[in-house]
Structure 1
Amino acid sequence: MTDTLTFYTNPMSRGQIVRWMLEEVGVPYDPVLLDYATTMKAPDYLAINPMGKVPAIVHNGTIVTECAAICAYLADAFPAANLAPLAQARGAYYRWLFFAAGPLEAAITNNAMGFVLPEGRERTAGYGSLDDVLNALEQAVSGEAWICGDQFTAADVYVGSQIDWGLSFGTVPERPAFTAYAERLRARPAYQRQKEIDGALIAAMQNQG
Structure 2
Amino acid sequence: MNAALTFYTNPMSRARVTRWMLEETGLPYQTEILEYGTSMKAPAYRAINPMGKVPAIRHGDTVVTENAAICMYLADLVPEKKLAPPAGSPARGPYYRWISFMGPLEQLMVAKSTGVQLPDPGMAGFGTEEDLVQTLAGAVEGRDHLAGDHFTAADLLVSAYIGWYLQFQLLPALPAFTRFVELHRKRPAAARANELDGPIPARG
> Which band: TM-score by shorter chain?
over 0.9
Establish whether residue 155 from structure 1 lines up as the match of residue 157 from structure 2: no
Contact 1:108 1:130 in 2 (8 A): no
1:14 Cα deviation after fit: 1.0
Q: Distance in 1 between matches of 2:79 and 2:3?
A: 14
Establish whether residue 113 from structure 1 lines up as the match of residue 114 from structure 2: yes
Report which stretch shifted further, 50-59 or 132-141. 132-141
Residue ranges of structure 1 left out of the alignment (5+ in a row)? 204-209
Going by fraction, where is helix more abundant, 1 or 2?
Answer: 1
Q: Distance in 1 between matches of 2:6 and 2:130?
A: 38
SS of aligned partner of 1:196:
helix
SS of aligned partner of 1:115:
coil
1:63 Cα deviation after fit: 0.2
Whichever residue aligns with residue 19 of structure 1, its letter is R
Contact 2:107 2:125 in 1 (8 A): no
1:117 Cα deviation after fit: 3.0
Q: Deviations over 1:148-194 (max 9, x none)?
A: 13211111111111101111111111101101101101111111111
Establish whether residue 173 from structure 1 lines up as the match of residue 172 from structure 2: yes
What's the counterpart of residue 130 of structure 2? Answer: 131
Q: Distance in 1 between matches of 2:118 and 2:181?
A: 29
What's the counterpart of residue 44 of structure 1? Answer: 44
Q: Deviations over 1:121-158 (max 9, x none)?
A: 21111211111111111122111421113211111111
Alignment of 1:13-28 (within 5 A): 13-28=13-28
1:28 Cα deviation after fit: 0.5
Contact 1:111 1:130 in 2 (8 A): no
Residue ranges of structure 2 left out of the alignment (5+ in a row)? none
Report which stretch shifted further, 156-165 or 109-118. 109-118
Alignment of 1:1-209 (within 5 A): 2-87=2-87, 88-89=89-90, 90-100=92-102, 102-117=103-118, 121-199=120-198
Structure 1 stretches of 4+ moved >4 Å: none
What's the counterpart of residue 206 of structure 1? Answer: none
1:86 Cα deviation after fit: 1.4
Contact 2:85 2:148 in 1 (8 A): no
Whichever residue aligns with residue 187 of structure 2, its letter is R
Give me the identity figure in percent: 53
Q: Deviations over 1:71-113 (max 9, x none)?
A: 011001221221000122211000011111x211101111121
Report which stretch shifted further, 124-133 or 14-23. 124-133
Contact 1:85 1:93 in 2 (8 A): yes
Whichever residue aligns with residue 6 of structure 2, its letter is T
SS of aligned partner of 1:31:
strand
Number of paired residues?
199
Query: RMSD across aligned C-alpha pairs, in angstroms?
Result: 1.6
